[in-house]
Amino acid sequence: MGRRLVPLTLDNLSDLPRRCRSCVFWELDPVSGEAAVASGRPELEKEAWISAVLLEWGSCGRVVYVDDLAVGFVLYAPAAYVPRSLAFPTSPVSADAVQLLTAWISPPYQSQGLGRVMVQTVAKDLLSRGFRAIEAFGDARWKEPACLLPADHLLAVGFKTVRPHPVHPRLRLELRTTLSWKEDVELALDRLLGVVQKEPVLRPL
C-alpha cells in the first residue's frame, strides 16, 4: 500500500470531501460566511482563500494519499489569515504559533499511523519556517461532528490549555514534542482526526 503526503494546492483541492472544500467557517468572518453560503458560492471563496494564502504565506495544508486515493487532510495557517479566529472569546492565537483549522482521516484508514505522519510532517514544515507551536480553539461541549474539534480529544493528543473557557478554550501543542510521540498519543491522534465533519453549518459563536 503506497502512501504519500503532498501540499494542498488548487490542483488537488477537488480531492477533498465536498463538504470540506465548500466549508468557509474559518476562512471568512461570520457575516461574510453566512453571505457566501446564502449566495451559493462557498467553494469559490474557499479557492480564493487558499490561493491568497499560498501566494502570500506558502503551504497551508497537506493531503494524504493511499494508492492515489485521498484519505485525509490537514489545514493550517497563521491567525492573520483566519478571520473567524477573532470571533472567539479566547483569541488571539499566539504570535509564535500557527492555527490548526481542521483535520480529518477517512474512517477505513484510521489506526494506521497516518495521523502521526501527517502532523509530524506539518510540524517539520512549521519548525523550518520559524514557528514553535500549533494552537486550536476547541469545543468543550462537543456532541457531534462540526467545524471545531473536540477539546478533550485535542488534550488527549498532547495539546495543553493556554486560555481556559467553558465552551471554547484555546489549546497549544509544542511542535518539537510531535517528533517523538509515543504509541498511546498516536492512537489518540487517529481518533481525533477521524472526527468526520458534516455539511458545514455556520453559526454565531
Distance CA 201, CA 23 (A): 8
**Considering the entire predicted model, what is its pTM?**
0.85
Distance CA 97, CA 204 (A): 25
- A 10 A CB-CB count for 114 gives 22
The secondary structure element, H or E, covering residue 103 is strand 97-105
pLDDT of residue 182: 58
Distance CA 110, CA 107 (A): 5
**Eight-state DSSP code of residue 146:** -
Query: Model confidence over 130-186: pLDDT tens digits?
Result: 999 999 999 998 887 678 888 887 887 788 999 999 999 999 999 888 777 655 566
Closest CA to 147 of 51, 42, 38, 66: 42
Query: Model confidence over 33-70: pLDDT tens digits?
Result: 999 999 999 999 999 999 999 999 999 999 999 988 99
- C-alpha cell, 28: 471568512
The sheet that has 97-105: what strands, in order across it? 3-7, 61-66, 69-77, 97-105, 133-137, 170-174, 160-163
C-alpha gyration radius of the chain: 16
pLDDT band at 198 (very low <50, low <70, confident <90, very high): very low
* CA 100 to the chain's CA centroid: 4
Contacts of 10 (CB under 8 A, 6+ apart): 47, 50, 51, 54
Closest CA to 205 of 154, 171, 166, 156: 166
| Cβ atoms 174, 132 nearer than 8 A | yes
pLDDT of residue 203: 39
